[in-house]
């Protein structure tokens, strides 16, 4: 059973979606919202498997809702003709429902979109990058879940092949970018490279210490990380 939340400011649109969705025994509607603010609260509370998300809504539009979620569910976007929204979908190869739509188009979207959700992530990342000098949140993976993690909560990152392991104080996540690309994505001066395989949040460092011939940083969660000679001078300017 896949749980669903419907988000649309038009009552007729919600009624139509409810009618279409209830025809599927494997889908269960667990909530509805008529504006962006209520949508964020409802999605973060109920954590549905999928949402039907209108773009043009009062309070927060659909794109703004996307950037404020704790976890990204499967999404079927809908919009009346909106040049900006449609361009964004086309750039990221995301399908959507263009209002007004009928049952046949709904069924086509349902079968296609839910199988092609990875394209939603680049769109969400682009939106996060635009919201500030550096993104307040970063999308990370934990198993099959796609989670929004507060950037400042990241303690350090470790290269992992073509991917990167990302650590908060007590949890481990996976980023689908390489370590250099990930650090560039953060666009933040609070992260500094220690080694070709690591970068660290400078606010988590409690000590820089030399042990035998190597230097290590010690973090406030008890973790220690080796510093290479290449990155040591820049680190000393910040820590010492």
154 in the same domain as 95:
no
102 in the same domain as 187:
no
186 in the same domain as 106:
no
208 in the same domain as 161:
yes
165 in the same domain as 110:
no
CATH number of domain containing 35:
3.40.50.2300
Statement: residue 31 has pLDDT above 80: yes
Tokens describing residue 65: 């809702």
194 in the same domain as 93:
no
Helix (H) or strand (E) holding 174: strand 172-175
Q: For residue 169, what are the contacts with CB-CB under 8 A and spacing of at least 6?
A: 153, 155, 221
Q: Say how far apart CA 32 and CA 146 lie, in whole Å.
A: 22
Where residue 118 falls among pLDDT bands split at 50, 70, 90?
Answer: confident
Instruction: Give the rounded percent of residues in the chain with a pLDDT score beyond 70.
Output: 95
CATH number of domain containing 143:
2.40.50.1020
Count Cβ atoms below 10 Å from residue 68 Cβ, excluding itself: 18
State how beta strands 145-150 and 96-98 pair. Answer: unpaired
Q: Say how far apart CA 151 and CA 115 lie, in whole Å.
A: 29
Statement: residue 133 has pLDDT above 90: no
Distances, alpha carbon 196 to alpha carbons 43, 159, 236, in Å:
38, 8, 17
pLDDT for 198 equals 95
Q: Say how far apart CA 24 and CA 234 lie, in whole Å.
A: 59
pLDDT for 144 equals 87
Statement: residue 201 has pLDDT above 90: yes
pLDDT for 32 equals 97
pLDDT for 113 equals 65
Tokens describing residue 108: 């086509």
- For 82-107, what is each residue's pLDDT tens digit? 887 888 887 676 878 889 999 999 98
Statement: residue 115 has pLDDT above 70: no
149 in the same domain as 203:
yes
Statement: residue 68 has pLDDT above 80: yes
Return the CA Rg of the chain. 21
Q: Confirm whether 11 is domain-assigned.
A: yes
Q: Find the domain containing 22 and state its range.
A: 2-123
Domain boundary at 123, 157, 188, which? 123
Q: Say how far apart CA 205 and CA 109 lie, in whole Å.
A: 48
> 159 has which bridge partners?
164
Statement: residue 116 has pLDDT above 80: no
Q: Say how far apart CA 35 and CA 39 lie, in whole Å.
A: 6
143 in the same domain as 35:
no
- For 5-23, what is each residue's pLDDT tens digit? 999 999 999 999 999 999 9
Instruction: Give the rounded percent of residues in the chain with a pLDDT score beyond 90.
Output: 63
Q: CB–CB of 148/139 below 8 Å?
A: yes
Domain count, the chain: 2
Count Cβ atoms below 10 Å from residue 119 Cβ, excluding itself: 14
The rounded mean pLDDT for the chain is 89
156 in the same domain as 214:
yes
> 27 has which bridge partners?
2
86 in the same domain as 51:
yes
């Amino acid at each position: 059973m896949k749980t669903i939340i419907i988000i649309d400011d038009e009552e007729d649109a919600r009624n139509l979606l409810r009618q279409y969705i209830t025809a599927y025994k494997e889908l269960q509607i667990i909530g509805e919202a008529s504006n962006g603010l209520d949508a964020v609260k409802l999605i973060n509370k109920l954590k549905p498997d999928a949402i039907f998300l209108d773009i043009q809504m009062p309070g927060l539009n659909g794109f703004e809702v996307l950037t404020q979620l704790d976890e990204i569910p499967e999404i079927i976007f809908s919009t009346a003709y909106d040049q900006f929204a449609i361009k964004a979908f086309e750039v990221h190869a995301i399908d959507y429902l263009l209002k007004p739509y009928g049952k046949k188009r709904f069924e086509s979207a349902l079968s296609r979109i839910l199988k092609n959700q990875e394209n939603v992530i680049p769109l969400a990342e682009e939106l996060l990058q635009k919201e500030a000098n550096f993104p307040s949140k970063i999308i990370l993976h934990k198993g099959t879940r796609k989670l929004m993690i507060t950037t400042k909560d990241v303690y350090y990152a470790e290269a992992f092949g073509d991917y990167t392991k990302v650590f908060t104080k007590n949890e481990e996540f996976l980023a689908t970018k390489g370590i250099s690309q990930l650090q560039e994505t953060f666009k933040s001066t609070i992260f500094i490279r220690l080694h070709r395989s690591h970068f660290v949040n400078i606010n988590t460092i409690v000590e820089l210490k030399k042990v035998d011939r190597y230097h290590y940083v010690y973090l406030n969660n008890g973790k220690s990380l080796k510093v290479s000679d290449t990155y040591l001078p820049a680190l000393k300017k910040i820590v010492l």
